[in-house]
Structure 1
Amino acid sequence: MNVFVIGIGLIGGSLVLDIKNEYQNATIYGIDNSEEHLNKALALNIIDKKATYKDLDIADIVIISIPVDVSLHVIPKVLDGVHDNCLVLDVGSTKELVCKSVENHSKRRNFLAAHPIAGTEFSGPTAAIRNLYKGKTNIICEVEKTAFKLQEKALEIFSKLGMRIRYMDPKSHDKHIAYVSHLSHISSFMLGKTVIDKEKNERDIFDMAGSGFASTVRLAKSSPAMWTPIFEQNKENVIETLEEYIQNLQHFKLLLAENKFDAIYAEMENTNHIKQILNGIQEVKLQ
């Protein structure tokens, strides 16, 4: 089985590491704009061989894990080069524009739009880790437009990697993910910016930052090259979530200014319900 990964970073690299572990007959080919990334991926045994787009005619599976703005151009190009039984997967964080980019392609049936909800704040080949996807949710969009035998191939891989599957239309995906993922990254970036702007002494930040601050700004270490196109493609939904978030911040500020600490207590107590939701999610993942 010839598996091509385009973009050898955390997401794509982790996927093929697990595929290599589950499929002993898999040969992993890497395509990346960075020669350094290719060499590092070879050295780390993430890929077996370097490749180019000209080699796609031998691919059985192609995993596209690159910034979402680049995907709009690369996915049609990949579909042009693969044979009729090849599965082409996109694993980006936005789906509506990607699905539109291939809706009229003659090989649309070869394409599966997926979004594994997994990751860390790190990037590049050295960020790739085994078992990243175990117990994680993988959202699949427009599954009915993918050839059934290729759906089966993809679902077998996802099952072996331990992923839970959820189906969703692209528009709903982008709206929901703006709340649970994209807003979190913006909050983290802006909290980091606020502290850096105010606390000019880096030693003060180092000495005084507790685990709460560290965990909250963890996502601010994420790649701007990946996240800027995500915010651009999902602009309308992100703006909507930001407006609601800002309203809540302004409300909290007003309660503080008016010394309404009973109301602040109530707000926080009501929000504590998030613990039950997250604990429920964790329990489902462990089943």
Structure 2
Amino acid sequence: MSRPEDTLPPDLFYNDNESRKYTTSSRIQKIQSDMTHRALSLLRLKSPSLILDIGCGSGLSGEILSASDQDGTPGGPHVWIGFDISSSMLAIALEKEVEGDLFLADAGQGVPFRAGTFDAAISISAIQWLCNAESSEESPSGRLSRFFNGLYASLRRGGRAVCQFYPKNDEQKKMVSSAAVRAGFGAGLLEDDPGTKNAKTYLVLTVGGGDLDGDITGVVKGMDGVDVIDQRKKARVVNQRREMKGSKGWIIKKKEQMEKKGKVVKPTSKYTGRKRRIAF
């Protein structure tokens, strides 16, 4: 059986008919509710927060965010903003008069919000759609990069995100998680019911700052089956190796770049990058 994302782009697949079927299916409502509650438990929000719902669809997850604390999920009720690429899905959300603000946007083009806007973010069954290129001018890696870089910027320091998705295989799982790590996130993969047809994969993300300092173990501590992605450590080592701005190595590298562009630069000497004493 083919996967929906392998047949059509999401804005075409979720037309009026498919969006209506998705929203009214009791089975899908139950699955969506369970996954949203699971994502909220991984976010561990202790007070009402501003949450971004990525791929919000017809607002099934948003209704749970608005009702949190009333339905037994601690920390809410939350204020949320959602965006989706399907205008049909958003139209149904408007019909239902969901409490969140809605935007029509493509996650593969980035996250269109001011830096540091959100306390947290969730995404349910959406980001696997980014693993397909919709034209010869795009690539899955480019779409994932724009998405995770935009998401990282939109979250406050110490913020968290949980993205539930259906990876096609281990290669796709690695592609998604690696893109998140390259964007700066601390990341861990958690799989519920592994090896079964009910398996659910959650990418748990943290933004450095506060008491977490980007360490994903602060979010998923004590949970079995968590795979803390070690690319984060590699990225940290690479950053440590980078030349400090203003150092001799940094200046020489800049001069080499300028020379390659055909510009005239002063010759390098023993005084290049020298630290001068403070003059009183």
TM-score (norm 2): 0.39
Question: Quick check: which one's helix share is greater?
Answer: 1
Larger radius of gyration between Structure 1 and Structure 2: 2
